[in-house]
Amino acid sequence: MNRAKALIVFTCASFLAATMASAQGAAAPAEASAPAKPDVQKGGAIAAAVCAACHGVDGNASGPTFPKLAGQHPEYLVKQLTNFKVVPPATTAERPNAIMSPIAAALASADMVNVAAYYASQKLKPADAKSPQTIALGQKIWRGGITERGVPACAACHGPNGAGIPIQYPALGGQWQDYLATELDNFKSGARMNSVPMQTIASRLSDAEMKAVADYAAGLR
Ligand code: HEC
Ligand code: HEC
């Protein structure tokens, strides 16, 4: 083989290698962006074995200490489960919780996706508003916010009927009022640190306003 011919062979070979590499390169992100389909049946088995005692087998928790998970956006549920875990190098979770943090730590990410898909597929049994005296105040904050204190309308992100907006904004309609008020309080006190917008909003609400808007949201559907 003379030098010129060797060069052509070499060039062809490296062109071919580069083309194949880029074809594989192009195929890889497409595969990566199509995550494994959630397995609702496996999720249901985890729910029945681990979560049902507190959140109900169908995601309708029996009392306000435990949030309802039925019908919630699955991406939001996965985010919360992730936020309950301590993710090194951080030394605390973004949403530390004595009960949920160890439970979340025991779940693999596929378990989280599956159990979230299961609870998202269940039907919410909505709570009712309980406090007629504060409905008007709650509705005012929900629909219009509190302009002079820079509190935006809750409806802007959580929807006029409290259904939320997938994938970022959770549904609040029909959730227990006590749970919603507790979470607003947790955002305000810094016990829950996984949402800068919610921490800011809650820091501008009084206790009475939190209770009123939580009660109004519980009655939405
Ligand atoms: C022993 C009771 C208990 C068990 C068992 C339990 N949870 Fe929880 N869960 C709680 C409590 C209490 C909270 C509220 C924590 C807070 O106030 O931040 C919660 C909150 C959550 C939230 C946040 C909901 C929201 O609206 O932000 C998710 C998601 C969740 N749990 C999923 C699960 C899953 C999935 C399982 C089973 C693998 C499970 N939990 C098992 C008690 C429990
Ligand atoms: C700019 C958008 C935005 C506005 C406006 C907003 N929220 Fe939120 N809210 C969020 C997001 C995002 C989350 C989820 C945070 C997370 O990822 O944990 C959230 C979460 C919450 C939660 C926790 C739900 C749960 O299941 O734990 C409560 C309660 C809540 N918001 C109440 C309110 C109230 C009441 C208002 C009006 C005063 C309001 N939000 C206005 C974006 C918003």
Nearest atom within ligand 1 for CA of residue 175: 26
Q: What are 20-44's pLDDT values in tens digits?
A: 333 333 444 444 556 679 999 999 9
CB within 8 Å of 77: residues ≥ 6 apart: 69, 112, 115, 116, 119, 120
CA–CA separation, 210 and 111 (whole Å): 34
Long-range contacts of 12-16 (CB under 8 A, 24+ apart): none
Mean pLDDT of 9-23: 39
Q: What are 123-181's pLDDT values in tens digits?
A: 999 999 999 999 999 999 999 999 999 999 999 999 999 999 999 999 999 999 999 99
Give the residues surrounding ligand 2 with Cβ less than 6 Å away.
67, 79, 141, 151-152, 154, 156-158, 168-170, 172, 180, 183-184, 194-195, 197-198, 201, 213
Q: Residues of 119-140 as b/e, b for ≥16 C-beta within 10 angstroms? A: bbbbebebbebebeebeebbbb
CB within 8 Å of 184: residues ≥ 6 apart: 202, 205, 210, 213, 214
87 CB within 6 A, ligand 1: no
Q: What pLDDT, on a 0 to 100 scale, did the predictor assign at position 36?
A: 74
